[in-house]
Amino acid sequence: MNEDVVLLHGGAGSKDSFSERLSKYAMECSNIKDSLEAVIHSVRLLEDDPEFNAGTGSVKRIDGSIQMDAAVMIPGKLGSVIGIERVKNPVEVARMVMEKTPHLILEGDGATTFARKMGFHDYDPSTERSENIWKKTVEYLSGKNEEMPKRYENYLKFSDMFDIPKSTDTVGAVARIDGKFAGAVSTGGASPMMRGRVGDVPLPGCGIYVGEKGAVVATGIGEEIIRRMFCHNIYMQIGKESLRNILEREVEAFNGIEVGVIAVSGDEHASFSNTSMATGLFSR
CATH no. of 5-124+166-283? 3.60.20.30
In the prediction, which pLDDT does 124 show?
A: 84
Q: What is the 3-state secondary structure (H, E, C) of 90-126?
A: HHHHHHHHHHHCCCCEEEHHHHHHHHHHCCCCCCCCC
pLDDT at residue 36 tops 60: yes
**For residue 128, what pLDDT is reported?**
72
CB 22 within 8 A of CB 278: yes
How are beta strands 5-12 and 68-74 bridged, if at all? Answer: unpaired
Average pLDDT, the chain: 89
Mean per-residue pLDDT for 146-153? 57
- Catalytic member of 56, 112, 137, 168: 168
Distance CA 141, CA 159 (A): 8
| Chain center to CA of 174 | 11
- Which helix (H) or strand (E) is 20 found in, with range? helix 19-27
What local confidence, expressed as pLDDT, does residue 190 receive?
73
User: Does the active-site annotation cover 168?
Assistant: yes
Please give the Cα distance from 187 to 82 (Å, whole number): 10
Residue-level pLDDT at 64: 77
pLDDT by residue (tens digit) across 157-198? 444 444 433 444 689 999 999 999 999 999 987 767 778 789
- In 3D, which of 145, 157, 44 has the Cα closest to residue 90? 44
CA distance 65 to 62: 7
Rounded CA separation 254/157 (Å): 24
Cis peptide before 102 (omega within 30 of 0): no
Residue 80 in 3-state DSSP? strand
Q: What is the pLDDT of residues 39-71, one digit of tens each?
A: 999 999 999 999 898 999 888 887 778 899 999
Each residue's pLDDT tens digit, 201-258: 999 999 999 999 999 999 999 999 999 999 999 999 999 999 999 999 999 999 999 9
**DSSP 3-state assignment of 41?**
helix
Cα-flanking dihedrals φ and ψ of residue 79, to 5°? Answer: -135, 135
Whether 83 contacts 219, CB under 8 Å: no
Say if residues 230 and 210 touch (Cβ distance below 8 Å).
no
C-alpha distances in angstroms, 6 versus 29, 168, 265, 275?
Answer: 8, 23, 12, 22
The amino acid present at 110, given as its one-letter code, is G
pTM (two decimals)? 0.86
The answer for residues whose C-beta is within 8 angstroms of residue 143's C-beta and 6 or more apart is 156, 165
The pLDDT of residue 2 is 76
Maximal C-alpha separation, the chain: 60
Residue 162's pLDDT is 44
Comparing 84 with 13, the larger pLDDT belongs to 84
